[in-house]
Amino acid sequence: RVDNSTRLTDEGKQLDRLFYVLDGTPRIDKAGRSIESSAGVFIGEVAYLKKRPATASVNVEPGALYIEWTHAALDRLKRRQGGFEVALGRLLGADMAEKVARAN
């Protein structure tokens, strides 16, 4: 758990890790708009999949719990375990579909 407000991503900046928020409310700031999400979401998935800078700035507040993986560690797992890439792709795809459904 984090003790302080923690910035996970900065809009427009390159990321080297993927986050998953287990508990807490991520605040997402994108193009001057701010929204709150819920726990159980990936953060930085578009940057990871597309090898692009972060599409939003994301903060979590004190008490939030998240896990993170470096892109390098995920890429090593994909090379070593064939099924891992498929499973991760499904999880990220489902997460993105849920975000799009909530946005409309």
The predicted pLDDT at position 56 comes to 96
17-30 per-position pLDDT tens digit: 999 999 999 999 99
H/E/C letters for each residue in the chain?
Answer: CCCCCEEEECCCCCCCEEEEEEECCCEEEECCEEEECCCCEEECHHHHHHCCCCCCEEEECCCCEEEEEEHHHHHHHHHHCHHHHHHHHHHHHHHHHHHHHHHC
**Is 90 exceeded by the pLDDT of residue 100?**
no
Cα gap 7→11, rounded to integer Å: 11
The predicted pLDDT at position 10 comes to 97
Question: Is the C-alpha dihedral spanning 45, 47, 58, 76 positive or negative?
Answer: positive
29-83 per-position pLDDT tens digit: 999 999 999 999 999 999 999 999 999 999 999 999 999 999 999 999 999 998 9
The predicted pLDDT at position 86 comes to 94
Q: What is the pTM of this model?
A: 0.93
The predicted pLDDT at position 102 comes to 83
